[in-house]
A = this chain, B = another copy of it.
Amino acid sequence: MTNPALVEELKSLVEPGKVLTDADSLQAYGKDWTRHFAPAPSAIVFPKTIEQVQAIVRWANAHRVALVPSGGRTGLSAAAVAANGEVVVSFDYMNQILEVNLTDRTAVCQPGVITEQLQNKAEEHGLYYPVDFASAGSSQIGGNIGTNAGGIKVIRYGMTRNWVAGMKVVTGKGDLLELNKDLIKNATGYDLRQLFIGAEGTLGFVVEATMRLDRAPKNLTAMVLGTPDFDSIMPVLHAFQGKLDLTAFEFFSDKALARIMGRGDVPAPFETDCPFYALLEFEATTEDVANHALETFEHCVEQGWVLDGVMSQSETQLQNLWKLREYISETISHWTPYKNDISVTVSKVPEFLKEIDAIVGKHYPDFEVVWYGHIGDGNLHLNILKPDNLGKDEFFAKCATVNKWVFEIVEKYNGSISAEHGVGMTKRDYLTYSRSPVEIEYMKAIKAAFDPNGIMNPGKIFAV
C-alpha cells in the first residue's frame, strides 16, 4: 500500500494529523515486544470514534488493504507487528474509561485504555481489576482481549475472558456488533463475544469493552517456600489449595533466584538454598486464615516437601517477595533468553518439565535453563540463557532445534504451545502441535465469515 492517493483517502476518514507515515512512527508502531520481524507498515492511523474505525475497515475492504490492530504493543508473539506494508490501526486516541457502574461493578472502556489505568480507576472506587502482569503499565484493554491476557492472578480470577461483560466490535466486513450487552446471563444463541476474545484481531477490532470489576482483595499475604526438588511443589500446591483460597501460586528455580540476587536490590527470602521455590498468596482476612497457612506450612515441612519458608508481615514484605518472581523476566533479558510459554494440565507438570529438562540437558549441557511460571495454572515459562561464549546466531539456530523438541513434548502431553502469549507470527507455523488440522480448518471457516477479504491482521494465527 504505497499508493499516495490511498493514503490521502485514508486521511479523509479521520481527524487531521491522525495518519502518520514518517519513518519513526512506522518503526515505532509497526512492532511489538518481539524483535524477530522488521517493522514495515505503510501508515499508522489513529481513529477517535467507532464510526471512524468502521470507515477505515470499509476503505480497507474496498482497496484490499491489510490492517493490523495496535494496542500497547507489549505482545510476545508478533501478533501486532506490521511487517508487510499493512496499515496499523492504533487505539491510542480511544483511551477513555467512559463509565463506571458501582452496582453492576463494571467499567466501560475504549480499547486503548491502559490496563493500569483500569486498575487505578477500580481502586478509586474501592474495587479491583484483577488481571495483572508485568506489562500492565503499557498494555491496552483491546490488546488484552485480543490475546485473552492471563498473568499472575489466574488461579483465582481467571483470564481476561472472565472479565469481559460485553463488547462492541467492528468485524472484518465493517459491521458493528454489540456483543452480550454486559449481561451476566444471556442464553440467546452463540456467544460471539467469546470468539473475539483471543482472536488476535483476525476477525475484527474490539472498539469498546465493558469490563467487570471485583471487590478489593483484603490483606494480601504471600509466602515463599523452598522445596528440595520440583516434585515437592505439587503436594505443596495441593496442601495449600485444600486449606486456603489462593490468589496466586507461582514458582521459580534456583537459577532464576540467583539472577535476581545478582541485581543486589531485592532481599533474599531466607538463607537456605533450595533448587525450587514456590510463591503463594492469599487473603489473610482473619487470624484464622493466617494460622491455617502456618499449619499447612508446618505440615509441608514435616512431610519433607518444604525446606524453608517465609510469610509476609507487611505490605513492603509482600512487595519484596513478589519482586523475586516479577523481576525475573526483565532481569534475564540481559542474557538474550530463548523463551517459551507452554502449558499442560497441572497434574502433568512434573513429568513434562523433567522431560524437557532432560532433552535440553542432554544435547546442550552448557545451556542454562531458567524455569519459572504460573504453576497453579500449569503454565511454565521456559527460558534458556545464551552462554557468553556462543554467538547470537548460533545460539538461536540451536534453539530452533530445541523448539521442535519442546513442541513435540507439548504435543505428547496434550499441552499448549502458547499458554498466554498468543500465536501471532512466532507460533503460527507450530499451531498443529496444539490444534488439529481439522480444528484449524473450522477456525479458517470462521475467519472467512467475519473477514471474507482477509484484510484483518493477515498472517497472524494462520499463514496467508
Contact = CB atoms under 8 A, between A and B. Distances in A.
Contacts of A195: 190-191, 194-195
A177 B419 contact: no
The listed residue with most B CB atoms (<10 A of its CB), out of A288, A347, A417, is A347
B343 A186 contact: yes
Contacts of A454: none
Interface string A345-389: 111000000000000000000000000001001110000000000
A427 interface: yes
Q: Select the residue from A101, A186, A237 with max chain B CB neighbours within 10 A.
A: A186
A126 B242 CA distance: 9
A198 interface: yes
Interface in A164-188: 171, 175, 177-179, 181-188
Nearest to A178: B436
B159 A162 contact: no
A266 interface: no
Contacts of A103: 234, 237-238, 346-347
Interface stretch (A4-12, A45-53, A304-312, A437-445): A437-445
A104 B215 CA distance: 27
A183 B377 CA distance: 8
A262 B414 CA distance: 56
A190 B183 contact: no
Chain A: interface residue count, which band? Answer: 35 or more
Nearest to A430: B188
A423 B378 contact: no
A95 interface: no
Interface string A403-444: 000000000001111111111000100010011101110110
A449 interface: yes
Nearest to A155: B184
Interface of A: 101-104, 106, 126, 147-148, 150, 154, 158-159, 161-162, 171, 175, 177-179, 181-192, 194-195, 197-200, 203, 215, 234, 237-238, 241-242, 245, 285-286, 288, 343-347, 374, 377-379, 414-423, 427, 431, 434-436, 438-440, 442-443, 445-446, 449-450, 461
